[in-house]
Amino acid sequence: MTVDSVSLRAYVTDVSTAVAIGRELGVDYVIMGSVTEFNISTERSGGGFLGIGVGQRETTANVALTARMISTADGAIVDTMRGRGSAGDRSSSVSIVGIGGGSDRNREDELMSRAVEQAIASLVEDMNR
């Protein structure tokens, strides 16, 4: 097998293929990992009295990663790492007798991106320990 015969954009899921590609590229280690958590949760709360209402929405994105550093010399697992990240946002609204306003924009993609960045940074910190 050559690196040219395997698209480096494809997902490599087995250790032997990753090790073979690593050897051909001349690296000492390859890193394989998994996403173990990838979710967004939204909680809403609010209430009203005598025509005055308030509401709040809290959105949280959570990401968790695991990775293994594998030797290309013998395929042995040299180290394992973990990383976690989360990002949150709150929005609120107020209404008086049915007329209201507030901030209620959907930022889920931005929150997920921030959580992924934190999880990767956390994983790298774990690798450097």
- On whether the CB atoms of residues 120 and 66 are closer than 8 A, the answer is no
49 or 30: whose pLDDT is higher? 30
The total domain count for the chain is 1
Q: Which tens digit of pLDDT belongs to each residue from 6-28?
A: 555 567 788 999 999 999 999 99
Full residue range of the structural domain in which residue 104 is found: 3-127
For the stretch 81-126, pLDDT in tens is 999 999 988 777 777 766 655 555 567 888 999 999 999 999 999 8
Please list the helix, strand and coil fractions of the chain in percent, rounded to the nearest 5, in that order: 25, 50, 25
Q: Which CATH number characterizes residue 44's domain?
A: 3.40.50.10610
Half-sphere exposure of 119 (CA within 13 A, CB side): 25
> In this structure, what are the phi and psi dihedrals at residue 114, rounded to the nearest 5 degrees?
-65, -40
